[in-house]
Structure 1
Amino acid sequence: MLFARELARREPGLRSNSLHPGLVRSGFAHNNGGLIGRLWGLVDRFGLTPQEGARTSIRLAADPSLLVSGRYFSAERVAKEAPQARDDRAAARLWALSEAYVGG
């Protein structure tokens, strides 16, 4: 979320957003045995199908009414971020650290 926010600030002509697809039935942890595997099997029953989980991503990519940048989306709409995700100083620090790690 911080990286998308900083990219949107640095490149105003580019759309950069973040999103949460929801709890998607992805099969995560199904290969685990024991309690963890059973718990994830139970959780998956309440999750979204992969197609439902993709809706927010597809809408952000295709809906011309969502020409925004630096925002966070959930359930196909703009959602409120946690205060930590709105910290512009933290976003700038993350950007600088990312550049240092990749040699930028």
Structure 2
Amino acid sequence: MAIGLGACDPASQAMMAGASLVSFVHTDKTLSDHIATWAFDSDCSILYTANGEPYCQRFETEEDRRAAEAEAAAQTAQTHCYRTLGGITCYREPDTMASSQARVQ
């Protein structure tokens, strides 16, 4: 209820945004993600949707969770990342136009 009432006050909005940012930096989950994780008894994160996965994932055992993390790490290892003007850009296929000096290992 306090979160809903806080949306009316700009100062409270800024405070909630700051708290959500701090939470995201430290846990890779926003405050809304933590609430959804608790409410649905699943692992929910906006990062999953950014990677094209469902928002909430449910793992029956710790072994299932480890297997999913290993699969995600294997997919990440198959990417080809290059330095660009704004940062680092990754592709599933190698960029034939990029120089080898721009490749990020």
Does the pair score TM above 0.5? no
TM-score, normalised by the number of residues in structure 1: 0.27
| Greater gyration radius | 2
